[in-house]
Structure 1
Amino acid sequence: MTAERSSSAALEQALALIDEATVVADASSLILAASENPGGTELVAVRVLESIASRLGGRSRRQLVAPGRPNLSIRFGPDATEATPGVLMLGHSDVVPAGEGWAADPFNPRVADGWLTGRGAADMKGGIAAALQAMAAVHRAMPDAPLELLVTVDEEDLATGIEAHLAATDPAAIYRACIVAEPTDMAVVIACRGAANLQVEVSGRAAHAGRPEDGASAITTAARIIDWVADDHARMRAGASGLLGSATWNVGRVEGGHGTSIVPDRCTLLIDRRLMPGETGSEALAQLEAGIADALGSDGCTADATLLMEMPGFETAPTHPLVATAVEALVAEGVPAPVEAWTAACEGGFIARHHGCPTVIVGPGDITGQAHQPDERVRIADLGAAARAYTRMLVHLHH
């Protein structure tokens, strides 16, 4: 049998094992395993993942990141080697807090009118369920293919899960590709900006508001820093080009002062900085510190900036064979499969930077229209299409 016929036979065998109803049931079980972050634990969701993996024939291994917060690696087939590199699929077990405005219990999954609704349906328990079934199906058809699903904790907050994984993982580990199952509305995302969360603590000097010149207003100084951030944001946007445009700044929170009759002696800023591929959080911090130095006046206020979290970006060349593999897999499932950049950030940049492997993001659900919102939902048809498309990609990548 030729390699092409062998691949075709393996694909046919694997696709026959994909069952959309089972993907929905597994995604529903994961939604029931509430794993809100911040404020909760991913442990119950990890236990459900281990149960699904055991049923499907996968090998699970935990890495404890913090009490009640284990990363989970699920492997099918042999471990990857230099002669036979593996394919890594990537996801996260945490979800953002449910919040208000739901029509029903956010952690009681509901199936109606072709949709699965519940917190995490789109971001990203549906994608994880589809990935697991695809990997198990390919393993049945191609037992010698090294396949791994990494599910991290704390993706939605400080990325401590992926950081712990990389600290314990040899960069020389061989992956021929990384497929991130985040919700892209079934587009093929080949470029993704990173993100840095920064905090600025401004210290001033309190005084009675009747004699404000006796004090030093931390809020006034913070306002000058905010002006610098807005100006630098405009500067970067003016030079935007390519798929990803430019880096951006956003001041997401301002908190300070004590009352109207007191000159404020403190003010805290929380700032989001989107990073271009290759740009680091430390570089963004240095830029912010330079801007702070320009913004400080002569009234004695001081300001300290801290990098709270960094998530690197990545960019895979549109001509890379992995991109064509992803597009062809989706088109075969009747999905248009546009090739796009992403406005969000994800942990794929960590893998691309650490292992040097080509990376794409492909998954069911809409990151802007559904994720992080009340009544989050995903199309059931997309869950099935994603499982079959992942199956096609995994078979093709191992031939």
Structure 2
Amino acid sequence: FFITDITITGKSAYFGVPELGKDALRAAHAAMTALWRHSDEVAARAEHKLTGRGFLLITGLTGGGYIAVPERCTLSLIRKLLPGESLDTAAAEIEAAVRGAITDPEITVEFAYPAGRDHRLGGTSAEIDETRAEVAMLSQSMAGAMGGRGVIEGAPFWSESSFFVNRLGIPAVYCAPGDIRNCHTFEEHVDVEEYLAGIVGFAAFMARYCGVAD
């Protein structure tokens, strides 16, 4: 994934003479239209059997002022990457889409990437062979701790596993109690029952994987 903050700067003018200004908010509308179109194109390229399709999501828009042509507008987006996608290429495509939509040379555009992780722009995707014996062992341990758990799925989010997988060559998966779909929301929580089942599941996995001393 990566996050992009885009700042669009035009020129303010009194509302009664808008022709003297350069409307940054109007330019942002053109940019967002191009970005949504690009997201559809990205989604149509490929589908991963576990993580689905890539896309971008515009998460924030700020602009305008009081009774004047908007001089500055900022928008933020997040891009979901599939395993094998290049962060540099994906970022360059976003910049090209925005610059192609804003044709007025007097309106400037700046890009920032505030969420560098194991890459200067963001976090790289990671993938391991889901048929590994250790993965099956972990899956069985979690299924035994709580009914309906232990299913192997793709992770539609980023955390630090890419440091292990991509940089160190250490197989890693995400496994924890709770539901990622409520993460970063006002409803974020983990049920106590799942939390306790997670303890049992991890204990069972460690006993199976590491063995038990007599």
TM norm structure 1? 0.47
Shifted more, 346-355 versus 246-255: the winner is 346-355
Residue 318 of structure 1: CA displacement?
Answer: 1.9
Deviation sequence 1:133-178 (CA, Å, 0-9, x none): xxxxxxxxxxxxxxxxxxxxxxxxxxxxxxxxxxxxxxxxxxxxxx
In the alignment, is residue 205 of structure 1 matched against residue 11 of structure 2? yes
Q: Aligned-pair distance for 1:280? A: 4.4
C-alpha deviation, 1:334, in angstroms: 4.4
CA contact (8 A) 2:141 2:202 kept: yes
Query: Cα offset for 1:353?
Result: 1.9
Aligned to 1:301: 107
Give the Cα separation in 2 of the matches to 1:324 and 1:303: 49
Report how far residue 208 of structure 1 moved.
2.0
Shift of the 323–303 alpha-carbon distance from structure 1 to 2, 3 Å rule, reads same
Structure showing the higher strand proportion among its residues = 1
| Partner residue in 1 for 2:204 | 392
CA contact (8 A) 1:216 1:265 kept: yes
Superposed CA offset, 1:314-356 (max 9, x none): 2222212222111121233243321111223222223322212
Contact kept? 2:35, 2:98, Cα under 8 Å: no
1:218 aligns with 2:31: no
Question: Equivalent residue of 2:181, what SS?
Answer: coil
| Cα offset, 1:368, TM superposition | 1.6
> Which residue identity does 2:173 align to in structure 1?
V
2:162 paired residue number: 349
CA distance in 2, matches of 1:352, 1:210: 59
Q: Distance in 1 between matches of 2:27 and 2:62?
A: 13
Q: 2:50 is matched by which residue type in structure 1?
A: L
The one-letter code sitting in structure 1 at the alignment partner of 2:99 is A
Instruction: Give the Cα separation in 2 of the matches to 1:334 and 1:262.
Output: 59
Distance 1:378 1:296 in 2: 45
Alignment of 1:229 with 2:42, yes or no, is no
Distance 1:267 1:373, change over 3 A: closer
C-alpha separation in 2, matches of 1:220 and 1:373: 30
Q: 1:240 to 1:364 in 2, by over 3 A?
A: same
Task: For residue 277 of structure 1, report the CA deviation from its aligned partner.
Answer: 2.2
Question: Which protein has greater RCO, CA pairs closer than 8 Å, 6+ apart?
Answer: 1
1:372-391 superposed matches below 5 A: 372-374=184-186, 376-391=188-203
- Could you say if the C-alpha distance between residues 263 and 377 of structure 1 is closer, same or farther in structure 2, counting changes exceeding 3 Å? closer
Q: Contact (CA 8 Å) 2:5, 2:74: kept in 1 or not?
A: yes
Note the alpha carbon deviations across 1:26-50, whole angstroms, 9 max, x for none: xxxxxxxxxxxxxxxxxxxxxxxxx
Q: Determine helix, strand or coil for the equivalent of 1:305.
A: strand
TM-score normalised according to structure 2 size: 0.84
Output aligned runs, 1:265-344, within 5 Å: 265-298=71-104, 300-309=106-115, 310-336=122-148, 337-344=150-157
Question: Structure 1: which 5+ residue stretches go unaligned?
Answer: 1-194
Counterpart code for 2:96: A
Alignment partner, residue 364 of structure 1: 177
Unaligned stretches of 5+ residues in structure 2: 116-121
Residue type at the aligned position of 1:245: G
Distance 1:372 1:206, change over 3 A: closer
- For 2:51, which of 232, 244, 248 is the aligned residue? 244
The alpha carbon displacement at 1:392 in A equals 2.5
Percent identical residues = 24
1:214/1:273 CA distance change after superposition, 3 Å: same
Q: Supply the AA of the counterpart residue of 2:193.
A: A
